[in-house]
Amino acid sequence: MTTIKVRPGMFGKTLHEALRIARPGDRILLSPGEYVIDAFPIFDLHIRGTGEPAEVVLETKIEVTGGATLESLTLRAPHFTNAVHMPHPGTSALLKRCIVEADPAGKYPALFCRSSTLSLSDCEVRGAHGAEVITLQAGSRFTATGSQLGTVFARASTLELSDVTAETITALERSRVQAGALELAPVPGKRSLNMQGESVLRASVLSAPTGPWEGYCLESSIEIGEAHLPEGEQYLVLTKGAGVVRSDSPAVTSRDVDAPAPPKQVHWPLSAARAFRREILPRTAVGDTIVLDEGDYYLDEFEHALLFSMHLRGSGPGRTVLHGCLTVAEHTEGSLTGLTLRARSTSNAVQATPGSTLTLEDLVIEQAPGLDVPTVYLAKDSSATFTDCRLQIVDEDRAHIDVDAAHLEARRSDLGWLVAVNGSTVALDGCEARVLQAGRGSEITGDVTLQPNHAAKRQAVASEGSSIRLGQVDTELETLEMASLGAELRIEELTTPPGATTAVLREDGGTADVRGRSVEYVGDDTAPDPASSSTRAATSGPVDAPAGAATDAPRTPRGAPAPDGSADAPASGEDQGDDPLAEIMALTGLTTVKEQIEGFTQMVRFNQIRARSGLRTSEMSMHSLFLGNPGTGKTTVA
């Protein structure tokens, strides 16, 4: 073994010369000074500074190709490279009493090791704050004693640490970290431990004098014996999947990130009534309850609506008034309780987005004037529950509640104009409504009280394969209109005041069965459905009917065979001459003409019912043009 001395100056041997003549096992001694040379490989060499580490500076990239010992040096990496590079499997390097400075650009680590062995004793590894300074890849083995390591990244590697300080240790892909005394000093905003991919860390003593005091454990294990933290602080490890944390110290805690955080209650004081975004929102999390005092609160900070996943609770409708609009975030839950919601005309007052759950209780919703969208909108796959809620209606020209491919359960609530479409389901219990509409395969069931609407709307309309099946329906209206348009409309018990009439229109094969007084069916088949209210009325006794209104007794539809089998035969004793319509129906043939005339008469009867209730009627032309060959009955029909 030969010792080669290198000193700066004119008469000294240069480092370049020493490296050229050195043989495996030789030792190179560097005198104090700064040495800047191109990258060079070393194989089984010992390079040592003869002064303090800060006095002997070697600025280069050292590529270890065999074995190397570096002692009492400052190893400074040039820009965009490493100070020590170990890319060859099976190589080894020992650094003793060294200062290692990483790439000034912060892109590359100071020490890079792949499938090799790297040992540090009494060393300090420096780099940009928070930047990775030690990288261990693919089966590397790393030991460090009495050293300051900075940020360490290990993949499928083994680490043995004793009396070391690190900013952050990241271990992936079944890495193993065994530590005696380990001190963590992370940079602000970064976790100090990051274990993933079935990696394991065991530390006998963990010290963390500065925060943040947080780690992460994904499908891995962290075991800590003693933990030394500032008084009142705890080291929190966030776990995910099969992440496991064990510790003998109560200062080390863990929380499953997939488990919902326990909800808390947040007070929204009246002094911050206009500062929800600034003062309240940062303090809340999903599922929290926000408590409002008596008074007026405002969501003016939000242009359209507040997207929320929490619960707002006031002191009662009228006492707590919230000005603004709210939208429940997708696939979350939100509720409003005990307040008046005074909506703006910029958005739905309340909206449930796809997959969300909305609960309204003891709530008054004041409809915004000039609103072009429904006051409440329930989107696809959302679910809502209304209890003791009331809509204060300003505009009756559009729907107030739109249930679109969603589900609604309402109890003791005033719903205004309710529309259910696209396979929605609505269950009503003791509710009030002005209009019920079901379309496109939707279903409305339950008990309801029908209130008057001033927009001349039918009170119940089922269309396009939908169904309205109600049990008890009460109303003080003297005239009702309902329709079944290619759908199903059934009411078990309709309670109306004496003298009231109900007209039910059936078209496009729609069926209807409304059980109540003075129900008249108009449309495809003027006869009621089998076992309908009209048939039952004829067998159970008389029912009240206003003067001039049709009775509920069953009748043979015009154009249908008479009981004796003849077509359109007049009843015994009936004078056809006094009934022009009967004369036309008694004519042979003219099937199309008879159907058109029957349609005219049905429309007239329907308009008469609407007129008696003060509703708008449908305009129709009373002029007809009769065309056909001589002898086809034009004059007779006219």
The band of 559, judged by pLDDT with boundaries at 50, 70 and 90, is: very low
Query: Of 112, 147, 182, which residue is a domain's last?
Result: 147
Query: Of 226, 259, 292, which residue is a domain's last?
Result: 259
Quote the pLDDT of residue 564: 32
Question: Residue 63's beta-bridge partner residues?
Answer: 41, 85
Say if residue 179 is in the same domain as residue 247.
yes
Judge whether 144 and 161 are in contact, CB under 8 Å.
Answer: yes
What are the pLDDT digits (tens) for 16-50?
Answer: 899 999 999 999 999 999 999 999 999 999 999 99
The CATH code of the domain that includes 11 is 2.160.20.10
What are the pLDDT digits (tens) for 52-108?
Answer: 999 999 999 999 999 999 999 999 999 999 999 999 999 999 999 999 999 999 999
Q: Is the pLDDT of residue 535 over 90?
A: no
The band of 561, judged by pLDDT with boundaries at 50, 70 and 90, is: very low
Say if residue 124 is in the same domain as residue 223.
no
CA atoms of 65 and 28, how far apart (whole Å): 17
Min mean pLDDT across 158-162, 207-211, 238-242, 555-559 is at 555-559
Q: Is the pLDDT of residue 569 over 70?
A: no
Residue 44 is assigned to a structural domain of this protein:
yes
Residue 348 is assigned to a structural domain of this protein:
no
Quote the pLDDT of residue 595: 64
The band of 573, judged by pLDDT with boundaries at 50, 70 and 90, is: very low
Quote the pLDDT of residue 558: 31
Q: What token pair was written down for 327? A: 């939208």
Say if residue 220 is in the same domain as residue 245.
yes
Closest CA to 243 of 216, 204, 274, 265: 216
Residue 302 is assigned to a structural domain of this protein:
no
Closest CA to 50 of 69, 28, 68, 67: 28
Say if residue 176 is in the same domain as residue 131.
no
Say if residue 116 is in the same domain as residue 202.
no
Residue 251 is assigned to a structural domain of this protein:
yes
Say if residue 10 is in the same domain as residue 123.
yes
What are the pLDDT digits (tens) for 95-106?
Answer: 999 999 999 999
Mean pLDDT in residue range 237-258:
94
Query: Of 118, 147, 176, which residue is a domain's last?
Result: 147
Determine the distance from the C-alpha atom of residue 343 to the mean position of all C-alpha atoms in its chain, rounded to a whole number. Answer: 22
Mean pLDDT, the chain, as a whole number? 86
Closest CA to 343 of 371, 321, 324: 324
Number of structural domains found in the chain: 3
Say if residue 115 is in the same domain as residue 227.
no
Residue 344 is assigned to a structural domain of this protein:
no
Q: Is the pLDDT of residue 141 over 90?
A: yes
Residue 446 is assigned to a structural domain of this protein:
no
Min mean pLDDT across 42-51, 218-227, 440-449, 562-571 is at 562-571
Say if residue 63 is in the same domain as residue 122.
yes
Quote the pLDDT of residue 527: 53
Say if residue 123 is in the same domain as residue 242.
no
Min mean pLDDT across 406-420, 439-453, 579-593 is at 579-593
Question: Dihedrals φ, ψ of 579, to 5°?
Answer: -130, 95
Q: Is the pLDDT of residue 540 over 70?
A: no
Q: Whole-model pTM above 0.75?
A: no
283-312: b or e for each residue (b if 16 or more CB lie within 10 Å)?
A: ebeebbbbbbeeeebebeebeebbebbbbb
Q: What token pair was written down for 220? A: 């891995």
Say if residue 11 is in the same domain as residue 58.
yes
Residue 200 is assigned to a structural domain of this protein:
yes
Show the domain range for 255: 163-259
Min mean pLDDT across 26-35, 319-328, 607-616 is at 607-616
Quote the pLDDT of residue 485: 94
Quote the pLDDT of residue 562: 32
